[in-house]
A and B are shown apart, each in its own frame.
Chain A
């Protein structure tokens, strides 16, 4: 079965860089149609797509955050890493790792990690 799990710091200081790792199992990110990305949700608020990387290394970024985000994949380790620079308290949120597949659920998110709460505070 497909599982995803986020890991990284739970507390970062303003201006620091956040690095989150998604470690997954049950699928390969070298399989055609597969993508893994990051979605966040501030406390009590709605969901926001941040970045998505596909099996062919094609990448998509939120336009409003593009200058601060980098997404990479390590297919051999079954990991996807997101870095976000210049963190601010408004970036406090639960960060989810997400799986998509064009051939199963038409590219919508069909599997989610449990989420990791990241707090930005000095």
Chain B
């Protein structure tokens, strides 16, 4: 099973700041990595798939990069609605696995 590790666990930032979230895989997942955003009481929402492709309707301030074992989600300028928990997920091999999440909260 591929283990995903996310860092940091919590990121405290102010609106307008840049957020950089990291996801590392225990073995290569090629580019088969996605990022999801989850707010309290809601289902996750797909932001990025295949490491760098924005899902439908996702604002351009969200971008993804990386391949192999190291990936990054960048939010260029935080909006108030961006404060949430972010999960990475790999679909390279079954079982598909999620990371433990990074919480982005307001500083």
Q: How far is the CB of B97 from chain A (nearest CB, A)?
A: 7
B: contact size bracket: 20 to 34
Q: Which of A48, A49, A60 has the most CB of B within 10 A?
A: A49
B36-73 contacts to A, CB under 8 A, are 36, 43-46, 49-50, 53, 55-56
> Chain B's interface: helix, strand, loop or mixed, by majority?
loop
A: contact size bracket: 10 to 19
Determine the chain B residues whose CB is within 8 A of the CB of A107 once the complex forms: 32, 91
Chain B residues within 8 Å of A, Cβ to Cβ: 1, 32, 34, 36, 43-46, 49-50, 53, 55-56, 87, 89, 91, 94-101
Q: Is the CB of A106 within 8 A of B50?
A: yes
Q: Is the CB of A60 within 8 A of B94?
A: yes
Determine the chain A residues whose CB is within 8 A of the CB of B95 once the complex forms: 49, 60, 62-63
Given contacts A52-B96, A96-B43, list 7 more A-B pairs with CB under 8 A: A48-B98, A49-B98, A106-B32, A108-B89, A110-B56, A112-B44, A113-B43
**Assuming A46-B99, A48-B98, A49-B97, is B91 touching A108 (CB within 8 A)?**
yes
Chain A residues within 8 Å of B, Cβ to Cβ: 46-49, 52, 60, 62-63, 96, 105-110, 112-115
Task: Give CA–CA (A12, B94) in the complex, Å.
Answer: 28
Q: Is the CB of A110 within 8 A of B96?
A: no
